[in-house]
Structure 1
Amino acid sequence: MNKKTKWFLGIFFGLILLILIAWQLVKNFKIEKFLEEKAQTELNKLWPNRVAFDFDDLTFQFFSKNASISNVRLTIFSESGADTLANLKIERITANWASYKDFFTDDTIKVKAIKLNKVFSDVPFDFEKLKPKAYEDAGSSTPFKIAVGDIILSNSELNFYKERGEQTGQFTSAYELVIQDVFYDSEKEFKPAGGGIGAVELKTSAMDYYLPDGFYRVQIRNTIFRPLVGEAQINDVLLKPVYDWKEFAAKKEVLTSYIALKIDSIQLKDIALPKGMIKAAIAEEIRVYQPSLSVLRDKNYILPDDRFVPIIIDQLEGLELPVFIRKVLVENMFIEYIEKPEGKQSTGKITFNDLTGTIRHFTNIADSVEALDASLEILASAKVFNKAVLSAEIVYGLQTENGDFSATGSLEPMQLTAFNDFIGVVLPVNIQEGQNDGVYFTFSGTRYSTTGRMRFRYSDLKINVDSEKIESQFIRNSLAFLANVALPKFNPRPNGKFRVGQINFERDTRKSMFNYWSQSLVTGFKSTLGASAPAEIEQNRNSNEEESFWNKLGFGKNKDKN
């Protein structure tokens, strides 16, 4: 027997002996129990007398180069000990390594993969309840380094709750998490994006969140999030009320919007994760595909006097989370607004199809605003009743004290009878005929009022007012101008005069920004139709109708020709 063979046999039988000794240690000295008690002791330093930890089985497979722990359970109790605050259950944790030679190299523990299967977490949204007690254990901490190829959480579920046992504020989601190339040095600050982690991918499915207001829930089919490369994909988003329309209104007891929103997908690009990971929301671009928004308002309920809705830039500034989103793109959106008039069961509806829009510089970070000298810009276009394109551009100054903004836009020609789907139900008015030949508007405003001009060209307008349907004094007053003023059928008139509408509106701060913008436009339409003073009366000097009209009245006959 040569020397190499002797060495080989010696090492081989030595390893077998070590394995047998190790097994006896596990069996006789109860290493499993030791690990449980050690973990319990360390956890008690963080949550004194508030934590319970145990597991079922510890397995070490020498030749397979892996170890596993099954059925790990961690429970954190309230300070009184009467209630369970958080639960963590892991069906199995498995660690494996490529070779024993590389396990300890250059003072670094090298692990090929750590896999956690069926991780279930049940924790409160209020993390302050779980805040551990700080402690120092000087002298017992040994510096170490560890490198892990993959950390994989599979078949896992996460549950957050606001109040134990209540549906309101509850969040649930299935998820899978893969973290690659992790390196940790106990003597240095851990920087995930600075070499501490190579890649992260989080996949979620069946996400369900009941909003804290108790009236809405959000469901998301699946998401993919890669934070270190700044990408995210969110698919099949649904925001819907918890109750049906009637029960929703009855529980609210005041006038409010019943909203349902569906989004096919959302893409986020160039997401930045600053220090603190979730202390800011920063993204270069967000794309929203095929959203569908339905808004219903029941006017049988009153609007409370104490309600106050801030304008969009004040809402943005009031966010606790710093936000910078350079661009939001919306593609192929559908919007419907449904209104149930006071004292009626029928509803009026207006729709906007094929909406595309862009929002630029959505930010409340002062340094970004000053550096870019930026304004919040909203550009959108959509087909009204799927017939004519309405385009608008709204610009808000981000450095103004009064909430200054400007708006411009237009509506392409269309038959005005299309608006009967809304006007014919909400008001006792029916447009019998009429053609919109083009609308152009521009106005500016502050937090509380707007002023501007509207050029509304129309022809062959004929409106019928059904007095039998006028049930309330409020509606009678609002329609008095229709009952007592003969509406011009044309603008410009046959005599060549063109009435420029005056936009002038005082905001009702109980209502939304969309109401502010739309009601500003309504004042322009009313002014054009004669309900209020115009901004200007323009005269078409080349109109033959103008000359014949004045001649018929006997004024200035052939005066200019002599």
Structure 2
Amino acid sequence: MKPIWKWIIGIFILLVVALSGAIWYFSRNWKPIVEEKLQEVIKNSTDSLYKLSYDKLDLNLAIGNVTLENAMLVPDSAVYAQMEAVQKAPDNLYDIRLKALKIRRFGIIDILTNRKLTIKSISLEDPAIHLTNKYHAYNDTVVSESKKTLYESVKDVLQSVNVRDIMMENVSFKYSKLSEGKSSDFAVKDIKISVHDVLIDETSLADTSRLMYTKMVEIVVPGFTYNFADGFYQAKFDELKINTREQNILLTNVDYKPVMNKAAYFKKKGKNVTMADLHFDTLRMEQLNFRALMDNQQTIAKKVQIKNGHAKLYNDKRYPKSPKNQIGQAPHQKLLRVKQLIDLDSVFVENVDVLYGEMSGKYHREGQISFDGATGILTHVTNDSVKLAKNKFMKADLRAKVMNSGSLHATFSFDMLSKNGAYSYAGSLKPMQAPAFNRILTPLLNVEIGSGNIRSVRFTMEGNDYRSWGDFRFDYDNLKINLLNEEGEKKKKKILSFLVNQLVIDDSNPDANEVYHIGKVNHKRVPEHTFFKNLWQSLLDGIKQTAGISPEREQRLIGSAQSAKKAVEQTKGSVKKTKGFLNRLFKKDEEKQQE
């Protein structure tokens, strides 16, 4: 038996030596073949636009390793100029550089016997990608030829390609947009990209569990800041995480805000436009359809979460405003006109402070109204015609603290298919003190609420592009208004305030005669008013009706003031002190009316 084992061992050793020698030979002699093929593939696939260069190529077939050091894939500017001359140049140019490309543990035996390439890992060290975009009008009309799939490109050589993991660390990405000889840039550094289980074969493209042949792509982008070309705004976030297997996108500490303070912003704009300041601790999309997003630029997700932050809007009436017709510009109408499909089952809002501030053009003071800690849900946020045919309503259910005091609950229903922008809304406000509204009334109107208990507010409204109608109920008591002199809010117009409280408004609802007033709103929209301003004007109409502020009562106030002045003039010479007091009281009001 021993001679047989000797023969077996000898043959095995001989095979190992022969295989080792073959591997050594091919490792040495395949290198120039591989280098030549690489250059040929790059040249043919890019119409000679790109060139590949590197410092060193190591190929070890014995253990299945390949290393490419200091590799660069760069465009040839001369070739690009020639392509522009014949209107064949692409809009995007790529400059890709990396410290090293390492391929580990690929199976040479499987390639030779089964035409299957299996790789344990591919790593790219310090990749730097520079994408330059230059618009060419002819690319808008060029009919692109149908492209081969990745599998169709490799099937003549390999039946399948499988890579377990691809890792890219410390990725730098720069985007440059060239327009009219100017370049606008933004850059992101320290990106981490992980790709798991890449499979290219005849079945993988149709595999719904895969995205672009992969089981998972995870991208982490730390710290990003972008200054917009107009010089007014900046966008930034602390971190972006994308995971295609979990179908999630997460953004943290997101900001969209001006790069200057309010005074400088409006001075530079030179007109009264809305300034926005947005911040959210968390923006998250869950069960996002990445395939639809990448293939067709469609945003389809089950859940969007907006958590902890603020949305602040400001206007400055010291600057001129260019009125624009706002008919057809309601939020639901704008959503319906978006070209790309949007389909969000639910949008959750949690603890977001909403604030509107306005600088008075007359008193040069800023008034503010706030809805603090806004929380709620928007459902069926979509412009998908198929889904809207089954259910045409987008709805919102929101809660907040008005002026960080009274609890407001409001619901909205938007008819997405209405030709005149139909919608409805209802709400209620729980008890709060009326003077809380002085934060907006005093700076803008030079009026303060001296006292007032708001017991409840309830409203049910409907509206469209042209008018709003519905019922408004306002329960309150002990309401007192103080009119202020222009010299300052501490000096009050006591007599005129007394007339307002006695003749113009009811100090309670039900009033002193136990009559309960209900506001029957029928408000005609001013075309230049935005959707939200029209909402406020409609509610204000209800407030005035329930507080007894009718046009007749306003006229009574004006008449009383004129009568008081006339009485003073008739008693001239006999009641000088009274004359002087009342003359001082009404003189400025008369001058205002004449102006």
Q: State the TM-score, normalizing by the size of structure 2.
A: 0.78
Structure 1 residue 3 corresponds to structure 2 residue 22: no
Alignment deviations for residues 87-139 of structure 1 (CA, whole Å, 9 cap, x no partner)? 22222211112654445563321111122222222224678799798699999
Structure 1 residues 398-407 or 75-84, which shifts more? 75-84
User: Residues of 2 paired with 1:268 and 1:136: CA distance?
Assistant: 32
Q: In the alignment, what sits opposite 2:574?
A: none
Aligned to 1:25: 29
Amino acid at match of 1:269: E
* Equivalence for 1:142: 156
Change (3 A) 1:225 1:127: farther
Q: Tell me how far 1:412 sits from its aligned partner.
A: 1.0
- 2: CA distance between counterparts of 1:160 and 1:389? 47
Q: CA separation of 1:126/1:182 partners in 2, compared to 1, >3 Å: closer, same or farther?
A: farther
Using the alignment, how far apart are the partners of 1:211 and 1:340 within structure 2?
26
Query: Any idea what SS the aligned residue of 1:218 has?
Result: strand
2:105 corresponds in structure 1 to: 97
1:248 Cα deviation after fit: 2.1
Aligned match for 1:41, one of 40, 43, 56:
43
Decide whether the 8 Å contact of 2:272 with 2:315 is kept in 1.
Answer: yes
The answer as to whether partners of 1:170 and 1:211 remain within 8 angstroms in 2 is no
In structure 2, the partner of 1:330 is 349
Cα distance between partner residues in 1 of 2:74 and 2:362: 55
Aligned amino acid, residue 36 of structure 2: F
**1:280, 1:126 → 2: CA distance?**
25
Alignment of 1:404-483 (within 5 A): 404-468=422-486
Deviation at 1:410, TM superposition (A): 1.0
Match of 2:68 in 1: 69
Is the 8 Å Cα contact of residues 465 and 483 (structure 1) preserved in structure 2? no
**Alpha-carbon offset, residue 323 of structure 1:** 0.7
1:176 aligns with 2:183: no
* Corresponding residue of 1:237: 254
Post-superposition offset of 1:152: 2.0
| AA of the residue aligned to 2:235 | V
Distance in 2 (CA, whole Å) between partners of 1:62 and 1:153 is 24
SS of the residue corresponding to residue 8 of structure 2 reads: helix
Aligned partners of 1:57, 1:482: CA distance in 2, in Å?
89
Counterpart of 1:227? 244
Letter matched to residue 156 of structure 2: T
Q: Return the alpha-carbon distance in structure 1 between the equivalents of residues 207 and 259 of structure 2.
A: 39
Structure 1 equivalent of residue 525 of structure 2: 507
Measure, in 1, the Cα distance between the counterparts of 2:402 and 2:373. Answer: 9
Question: Aligned AA for 2:284?
Answer: Q
Secondary structure of 1:524's counterpart equals helix
Deviations along 1:479-519, whole A, 9 cap, x unmatched? Answer: 9x969953221111111112212334343454543223222
Between stretches 89-98 and 146-155, larger displacement belongs to 89-98
Match of 1:347 among 366, 391, 409: 366
Q: 1:493 aligns with which of 511, 514, 519?
A: 511
Aligned to 1:109: 117
Please give the alpha-carbon distance, in whole angstroms, between the structure 1 residues aligned to 2:501 and 2:462: 31
- Asked whether the equivalents of residues 106 and 117 of structure 2 are also in contact (C-alpha less than 8 Å), the reply is no
Q: Residue by residue, what CA displacement relative to the aligned partner does 1:203-223 show, whole Å, maximum 9, x if unpaired? A: 222133444655322212112
Q: Secondary structure at 2:387's aligned position in 1?
A: helix
Contact 2:459 2:471 in 1 (8 A): yes
| Distance 1:125-1:430 versus aligned 2 partners, 3 A rule | farther
SS at match of 1:159: strand
Higher mean C-alpha displacement, 65-74 vs 79-88: 79-88
Q: Secondary structure of the residue that 1:339 maps to in structure 2?
A: strand
CA, structure 1 residues 99+123, in 2 after alignment: closer, same or farther (shift >3 Å)? closer
Is 1:153 paired with 2:154?
no
**Corresponding residue SS for 1:498:** coil
Cα separation, partners in 2 of 1:192 and 1:67, compared to 1, 3 Å: farther
User: Is it true that 1:163 corresponds to 2:174 in the alignment?
Assistant: no
Unaligned runs of 5+ in 1: 471-478, 535-562
Aligned to 2:214: 197
**CA 150–425 in structure 1, closer or farther in 2 if over 3 Å, else same:** same
Alignment of 1:363-442 (within 5 A): 363-371=382-390, 373-442=391-460
Provide Cα deviations, 1:312-350, integer angstroms capped at 9, x if missing partner: 122111111101101111111112222211145432222
CA distance 1:147–1:337, change in 2 (3 Å): same
2:225 maps to amino acid: D
Q: Which residue of 1 aligns with 2:587?
A: none
2-side partners of 1:124 and 1:344: how far apart?
Answer: 50
Work out which of the residue numbers 300, 317, 330 in structure 1 matches 2:318. Answer: 300
Contact 1:428 1:469 in 2 (8 A): no
- After TM superposition, the score normalised by the length of structure 1 is 0.82
The AA in structure 1 aligned to 2:299 is A
- In structure 2, the CA distance between the partners of 1:388 and 1:380, relative to structure 1 (3 Å rule), is same
Q: Is the 8 A contact 1:439 1:455 kept in 2?
A: yes
Deviation at 1:284, TM superposition (A): 1.2
C-alpha displacement of 1:461: 1.0
Relative distance call for 1:337 and 1:205 in structure 2 (3 A) is same
* Cα pair distance change 1:512/1:202, threshold 3 Å: farther
Letter in 2 for 1:60: L
Residue 139 and residue 401 in structure 1: after superposition, are their counterparts in 2 closer, same or farther (change >3 A)?
closer
User: Please, which runs of 5 or more residues in structure 2 have no aligned partner?
Assistant: 85-90, 489-496, 553-595
1:59 Cα deviation from its structure 2 partner: 1.4
* Alpha carbons 1:168, 1:213 under 8 Å: kept: no
Partners of 1:526 and 1:171 in 2: CA distance: 54
2:276 to 259, 268, 275: 259
Show the counterpart of 1:313: 332
Task: Output the CA distance in 2 between the equivalents of 1:498 and 1:282.
Answer: 49
Report the 3-state secondary structure (helix = DSSP H, G, I; strand = E; otherwise coil) of the residue aligned with 1:314.
helix
- 1:399 offset after TM fit, Å? 2.1
CA–CA separation in structure 1 for the residues paired with 2:154 and 2:440: 75
Quick check: 1:55–1:71 contact (8 Å CA) kept in 2?
Answer: yes
Q: What whole-Å deviation, never above 9, does each CA across 1:58-109 have from its counterpart, x for those lacking one?
A: 1123454311212222234584269994322222211112654445563321
Partners of 1:43 and 1:51 within 8 A in 2: no
Residue-by-residue CA offset, 1:387-423 (whole Å, 9 max, x unaligned):
1101111101122211111110011111111111111
Write out per-residue CA displacement over residues 3-56 of structure 1, whole angstroms, 9 at most, x where no aligned residue.
Answer: 2332343234334433543454367xx4575245314422432xxx53333222
Give the % identical residues.
22
